[in-house]
Amino acid sequence: MPLVLVPTPIGNLDDITLRAIKVLQDADAILAEDTRTSGILMKHLGISKPMFAYHAHNEHQALGVIMHRLKAGDKLALVTDAGTPGISDPGFLVVREALKNGYSVETLPGATAFVPALVNSGLPSDRFVYEGFLPLKKGRQTRFLQLAQEERTIVLYESPHRLLKTLEQLIEHLGPDREACVSRELTKMFEENARGTLSEILLHFQSKAIKGEIVICVAGLAR
């Protein structure tokens, strides 16, 4: 168990797996996207381990220290604030570097926001494309033009304050009548799945305060 990627709950703390708890208990140290956020989960689980920050702003600098610890035989567990490391979260670089240096890497199955959102959307899930967060500026227009021709179900992540703008741009490029589903606050008390056409969903969210992390699922282009 030199390096294990451990998915953590995306909202409901009961979604942690028994295997994930055991890995965290057995680890010599935990690499965390935000030690404060992960500290809350560890306290909830009754786990006390050394924690080190590994996030988007320090992952290049942290690689050397991590490889040194793996070489020394330490068992390291990597967690992010929520969900599976490497899925729109830090994780790719350390996995690539560990494999390049001959260390074993294991990834546990577990919470990932786009899976329940996709399955729950009612849209075809046998073939889909995961786009994560769209570019904020450079390349954004090009991406929308590409998505307009995509025949598979499209899965996007979005933040609450950009949801309306993204829905408007989806309508502009994919059309107002394209079927979609917007999921927010997944696994939490106020979970919401808004289904309908893009124009109907936009109207729905224009009339309310938008909170929580967002997953957008959009039907592919019908041929």
Structural domains of the chain in order of their starting residue, each with its CATH number = 3-107 (3.40.1010.10), 114-218 (3.30.950.10)
Cα 180 to Cα 166: distance, rounded to the nearest angstrom: 13
Parallel, antiparallel or unpaired: strands 76-79 and 3-5: parallel
Per the CB < 8 A criterion, the answer to whether 82 and 66 are in contact is no
Percent of the chain with pLDDT over 90: 96
pLDDT tens-place string over residues 175-184: 999 999 999 9
Largest CA distance in the chain: 57
- Does residue 1 carry a pLDDT above 80? no
**pLDDT band at residue 223 under the 50/70/90 scheme:** confident
Per the CB < 8 A criterion, the answer to whether 132 and 156 are in contact is yes
Q: Does the predicted model carry a pTM greater than 0.85? A: yes
pLDDT tens-place string over residues 16-45: 999 999 999 999 999 999 999 999 999 999
- Reference 23, options 112, 116, 113, 105; nearest CA is 105
pLDDT tens-place string over residues 59-105: 889 999 999 999 999 999 999 999 999 999 999 999 999 999 999 99
Q: Which two tokens stand for residue 171?
A: 């309508």
Per the CB < 8 A criterion, the answer to whether 155 and 130 are in contact is yes
pLDDT of residue 73: 95
